[in-house]
A and B are shown apart, each in its own frame.
Chain A
Amino acid sequence: MENYIVRIYRRDENDPEKVTGMLESVEYETRESFHSINALQALLTEHSGPGRRQRVRTDRQETTHTASVALLK
């Protein structure tokens, strides 16, 4: 079983397809943003691909670091 948290931060009132949010993988402890329902679906599809674990871990470290820097400013 795979577990994810989907957080929606912004919705376009005129276009229900346009949503901005964050997909968090519980297993890999990664966060990836998306800007539409299609992009969310693509992320979930991509997660099932091979070599995922190594790549998302690296992405996560970079994202977390940048976020911390931004918050300290």
Chain B
Amino acid sequence: MGVNLESRRIRRLQQQQPVSGWSRTSGSSRVDHPVRIHTLGRFAVQVYSHPMGLSLARQQRPLDLLKALIALGGREVHAELLSQALWPDTDGDAAQNAFDVTLHRLRRLFDIKDLFILRDRRLTLNSNLAWVDAWAFERLVNHSERLLHLVGDPMIGRQVARCSERLLNLYQGAFLEREASNAWTLTLRERLRSKLLRHMQDAGLCWEQDGNWERAIRFYRKGLEVDPLTEELYQRLIIAYRATGRRAEAIRTFHRCRLILADQFQIAPSQQTLELFHSLKD
């Protein structure tokens, strides 16, 4: 019943939209996807700009299938792989049946033609119709990595800055972080987290070289929010504070690093970090 009500609501929204639904809006290069799925830090779905109610118990399994599909790449994911993820204790025909029924319910829930394409038992979430923040993030971070190799050109610097800001906006938290821990979420969650941390460090270094210390500081701080155990980020932050004459903040950063390393690993800061600290006394 819950699924039917949500589907009916979506159908009403579709009728209020242009037929194509995802055609380019005039004067904008942005493709207006009818479905927008947020997975970074939260799970939320918008259909034609309207939030979809996700609380009904009957929707949970179809939405789990959607989450698993995204987590496993979203393109041509074999039904068997999805079944193993969602029904690990069910085998053979029962798992296949569960998959078929759940996919049917998922399609009914959205009721958008070709949103889910099943071909040769491989399922695809149509990226022409659905925008997924995790995918947008990964495309952008890969693009930024390429740009970072070309830094030196002021135009490129501006592009990197724009990309970095968009990355920070997109990364509202780890992939499906509020969901129950599932093995199938881990690969994408860790890959995105790792890519963000690497970007924070690389882009921060790039801003240092550019003399844009404030931006570098912001990036290192953001990196430490994501992983407060990364000693290299404390080192870069100390260097940045020192360069901008903020000695007290540099010292506080060192002590924070020392405390957290002692607390979490029972170790002292590395020789490199200690040398940076001593340099602050000069």
Which residue in chain B gives the minimum CB-CB distance to A25?
Answer: B181
Interface of B is mostly: helix
Measured CB to CB, the closest approach of chain B to A57, in angstroms, equals 14
Q: Does A58 contact B (CB under 8 A)?
A: no
Q: Are B181 and A9 in contact (CB under 8 A)?
A: no
Q: Are A26 and B186 in contact (CB under 8 A)?
A: yes
Which residue in chain B gives the minimum CB-CB distance to A63?
Answer: B264
Choice from B183, B259, B264 contacting A26 with Cβ under 8 Å: B183
Q: Does A36 contact B (CB under 8 A)?
A: no
Which 4 A-B residue pairs are closest in the complex by CB-CB distance?
A: A3-B183, A70-B259, A33-B265, A26-B181
Using a CB–CB distance below 8 Å, which chain B residues touch chain A? 88, 181, 183, 186, 190, 228-231, 255-256, 259-260, 263-267, 270
- Contact size class for A? 10 to 19
Q: Count CB-based A-B contacts (< 8 Å).
A: 45
Which residues in B have their C-beta under 8 angstroms from that of A73? 255-256, 259
Q: Are B256 and A71 in contact (CB under 8 A)?
A: yes
Which residues in B have their C-beta under 8 angstroms from that of A1? 88, 183
Which residues in A have their C-beta under 8 angstroms from that of B228? 67, 71
**Chain B CB within 10 Å, residue with most, of A1, A67, A70:** A70
Choice from A3, A22, A35 contacting B186 with Cβ under 8 Å: A3
Which residue in chain A gives the minimum CB-CB distance to B266?
Answer: A33
Measured CB to CB, the closest approach of chain A to B214, in angstroms, equals 22
